[in-house]
């Protein structure tokens, strides 16, 4: 027992000595504890390159022996820093990544039109033929460039380059060739022959046809009498004929004014050209205006109502043709027919008495009522609208009628009128009706 106790105490002393030996000495920094476990973290670009280069070496080392893992808090050695610097200085060429399928489809859909060359297809066979004929006639490419109007605007260099490249004209139709040949410029010899035709004369097509027969070697073979006449008229317009002498303006104090120039003109040369189309249009317009005037004259006696504005100095209420008057605050309506219609006039509805002239009539029907004179001399009003008509304060509903007396007050949608009867004219009408009844 004693020996066992002594051995146990010896063991405890040895452990305590080990602890004392492992304790840090006074004044020294304690060593930081770090784990040997590998902690995954995001790698930077230089570390990614290093890891890609270090994969084969790590596999080789794994076959021989495992390399001890470096803690996350430990610093890399100088050898590792050199390896990283070399890897960054000479990075490996990245393998081309396969394109994204969605991106490829998007590229296929957005097709751009192929670039169009500016000068592609500008020269046409008609231009080639016109170029050849013009050059053969004038022997001057500069004149052709200035005087010929092609289908597209070409500069002098393009015309010179195209002069030797005109092969497509052989495929043109004969009619197209004849139309193009008629546009060939006139030569100086041709214009000299045309200038001999007097400006005061009135040459016809026969005159120019005779000129073609006399000088077949001067004129271009495709010239016609009509073409010569048009060119002669153009030369006459610009005063290029032989007998046309332009008088120079006087110098000094004798300045030519408008009246002097007008006196110098020869009125015999100013002949108006008859325009048959214009005369026909003027005749048709005159006929239409006369028809409208005749129609208005025929409808004049059919006018049933006249509207007068009421002023301080108003005319008498009645005349020899007025049967009754519907007098309002602003206007008065003269009844000159045995039957008139009242309401609101629109584009597609015309009536005799437009109540909108008196005031606001948006509540009034288009055909509000009818005033009618019977053979016995009595006036009746019939309501044909949706709103009632008040006669002396008594409502007359739609579909009903009421007798109108002299000085009756007619109220339609807040518009008030006084109905006045021409008693003298009504008395004559009653007398004539009685005579007819006796006969």
Residues 241-288 pLDDT 10s? 888 765 554 555 556 677 777 777 777 766 667 788 888 999 999 999
Nearest to 377 by CA among 425, 417, 332, 345: 425
Measure the CA–CA gap between 282 and 274, rounded to whole angstroms.
13
Measure the CA–CA gap between 7 and 22, rounded to whole angstroms.
23
Measure the CA–CA gap between 408 and 417, rounded to whole angstroms.
8
Question: What would the two tokens of residue 38 be?
Answer: 């590998």
Per the CB < 8 A criterion, the answer to whether 129 and 144 are in contact is no
Surface-to-core class of residue 3, CB atoms within 10 Å of its CB (0-12 exposed, 13-18 middle, 19+ buried): exposed
pLDDT of residue 404: 92
pLDDT of residue 261: 74
Q: Which residues pair with 404 in a beta bridge?
A: 379
pLDDT of residue 72: 43
Question: What would the two tokens of residue 191 be?
Answer: 């214009």
DSSP string covering 315-335 = PPS--TT--EEEE-SSEEEEE
Q: Which residues pair with 394 in a beta bridge?
A: 391
Residue 297 exposure: Cα atoms within 13 Å on the Cβ side: 6
- pTM for the predicted model, two decimal places: 0.33
DSSP string covering 154-223 = --HHHHHHHTT---GGGGS-HHHHHHHHTTPPPPHHHHHHHHTS-SSS---HHHHHHHHHH-TTTS-TT-
The mean pLDDT values, 10 residues at a time, for the chain of 439 residues are: 52 56 53 67 63 53 46 50 50 50 49 48 82 87 89 88 68 80 87 88 90 90 89 88 66 64 72 81 93 80 57 59 87 87 85 86 88 88 91 91 91 90 87 81
Kindly report the backbone phi and psi dihedral angles of residue 330, in degrees, each rounded to the nearest multiple of 5, phi listed first: -105, -40
Q: Are strands 353-354 and 339-343 parallel, antiparallel or unpaired?
A: parallel
Measure the CA–CA gap between 124 and 153, rounded to whole angstroms.
12
Q: Hey, is 343 helix, strand or coil? A: strand
Measure the CA–CA gap between 134 and 163, rounded to whole angstroms.
11
Measure the CA–CA gap between 203 and 232, rounded to whole angstroms.
10
Question: What would the two tokens of residue 276 be?
Answer: 């048959």
Q: Hey, is 297 helix, strand or coil? A: helix
């Amino acid at each position: 027992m004693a020996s066992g106790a002594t051995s146990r105490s010896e063991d405890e002393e040895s452990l305590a000595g080990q602890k004392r030996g492992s304790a840090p000495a006074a004044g020294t920094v304690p060593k930081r504890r770090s784990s040997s476990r590998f902690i995954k973290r995001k790698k930077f670009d230089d570390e990614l390159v290093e890891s890609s280069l270090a994969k084969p070496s790590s596999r080789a080392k794994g076959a021989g022996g495992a390399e001890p893992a470096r803690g996350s808090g430990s610093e890399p050695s100088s050898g590792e820093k050199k390896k990283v610097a070399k890897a960054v200085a000479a990075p490996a060429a990245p393998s081309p990544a396969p394109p994204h399928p969605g991106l490829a489809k998007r590229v296929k859909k957005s097709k751009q039109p192929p670039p169009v060359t500016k000068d592609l297809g500008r020269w046409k066979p008609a231009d080639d033929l016109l170029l050849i004929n013009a050059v053969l006639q004038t022997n001057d490419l500069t004149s052709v460039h200035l005087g010929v109007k092609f289908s597209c605007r070409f500069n002098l260099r393009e015309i010179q380059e195209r002069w030797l490249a005109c092969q497509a004209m052989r495929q043109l139709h004969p009619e197209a060739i004849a139309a193009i040949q008629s546009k060939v410029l006139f030569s100086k010899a041709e214009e000299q022959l045309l200038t001999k035709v007097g400006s005061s004369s009135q040459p016809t097509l026969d005159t120019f046809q005779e000129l073609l027969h006399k000088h077949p070697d001067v004129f271009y073979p495709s010239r016609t009498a009509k073409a010569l006449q048009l060119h002669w008229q153009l030369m006459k317009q610009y005063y290029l004929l032989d007998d046309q002498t332009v008088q120079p303006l006087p110098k000094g104090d004798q300045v030519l004014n408008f009246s002097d120039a007008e006196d110098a003109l020869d009125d015999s040369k100013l002949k108006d050209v008859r325009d048959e189309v214009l005369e026909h249009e003027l005749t048709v317009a005159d006929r239409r205006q006369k028809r409208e005037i005749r129609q208005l004259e025929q409808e004049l006696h059919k006018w049933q109502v006249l509207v007068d504005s009421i002023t301080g100095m108003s005319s008498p209420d009645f005349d020899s043709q007025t049967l009754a008057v519907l007098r309002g605050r602003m206007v008065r309506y003269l009844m000159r027919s045995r039957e008139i219609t009242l309401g609101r006039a629109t584009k597609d509805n015309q009536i005799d008495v437009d109540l909108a002239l008196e005031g606001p009539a948006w509540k009034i029907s288009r055909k509000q009522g009818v005033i009618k004179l019977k053979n016995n001399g009595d006036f009746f009003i019939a309501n044909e609208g949706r709103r009632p008509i008040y006669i002396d304060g008594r409502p007359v509903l739609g579909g009903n009628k009421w007798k109108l007396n002299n000085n009756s007050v007619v109220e339609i949608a807040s518009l008030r009128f006084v109905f006045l009867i021409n008693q003298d004219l009504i008395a004559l009408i009653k007398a004539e009706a009685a005579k007819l009844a006796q006969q």
